[in-house]
Amino acid sequence: MHAVAEPIRHRTLRSYLLEAKYEFLHLLRTPIFALPTILFPALFYLLFGVVLNSGNEDAARYLLATYGAFGVMGAGLFGFGVTVAIERERGFLTFKRALPMPPGAYLLAKMAMAMLFSAIVSLLLGALAFLLAGVSLQPGQWALLLVVDMLGALPFCALGLFIGTLVGGNAAPAVVNLIFLPMAFLSGLWLPLTMLPDVLASAAPAWPAYHLGQIALTVVGMDDDTALVVHVGVLAVVTVALFVLARARLARTG
């Protein structure tokens, strides 16, 4: 009995890994997704963190944290929001359900894909910050920032999944952009909240991206005075709630 169970577990794990591998390769070979997701945060950092703030290590360190959060937002929102909407509209999800694949493999593969893209974004930003902007962090801070960026994609995977269950494939890119860009700006990811009008700055905690940005800033030693557990708790609640709502909609609508 044990000998039979072991191959079954092996095949199940292999199914999860293959699904994640091909999901990642599929989007890596999709220039309209891969190039903006990987290059936009790096290009923005080069402009604002390196060129326009040359010699300002504090600004370079701040933008390293916040542009990392900005990059993982894109990986999660577009990787889920647009692809799920298109695949649902084309009946691909119905086809997936008919395949002998483990439960949840579809969603777990997309989550793994978003985290891998987030890792690429984080490593690229780290290289630019270290080599061109003179940012100096302890090895543990570099490693922790990478972990924060990878896990930080999950709330936006959940939000993207929920969007993908609400709109069709043609509308999804516009809807995601209408949420993605204002959220990044109003969360203090592009510039410090002190540079925004008070009414906008005071509303920043309403956005999940603000909390991810503050966690990343904590890693580099530039956070606000809010307890870290608050930021983590908000993101955890947002992630679970949106995944539950999205799964419920997928169960009803396919």
End-to-end Cα distance, the chain: 37
Which pTM value belongs to this model?
0.90
pLDDT at residue 3, rounded to an integer: 46
CA–CA separation, 11 and 132 (whole Å): 45
CA–CA separation, 233 and 68 (whole Å): 20
Chain centroid, CA 143 distance in Å: 17
Alpha carbon dihedral 223, 229, 234, 238, in 10-degree steps, equals 120
Residue-by-residue pLDDT tens, the chain, 254 positions: 454 455 656 567 777 788 889 889 989 999 999 999 999 999 999 999 999 887 788 999 999 999 999 999 999 999 988 988 888 888 777 776 666 667 678 888 999 999 999 999 999 999 999 999 999 999 999 999 999 999 999 999 999 999 999 998 889 999 999 999 999 999 999 988 888 899 999 999 999 999 999 999 999 988 777 789 999 999 999 999 999 999 888 777 65
CA–CA separation, 31 and 107 (whole Å): 22
Q: Which of 215, 244, 219 is nearest to 152 (CA)?
A: 215
Beta strands, E only, the chain: none
Residue 228 tokens read as 């870290």
Enumerate helices (H) and strands (E) in the chain, giving the number of each. 10, 0
Q: 3-class SS at 83? A: helix
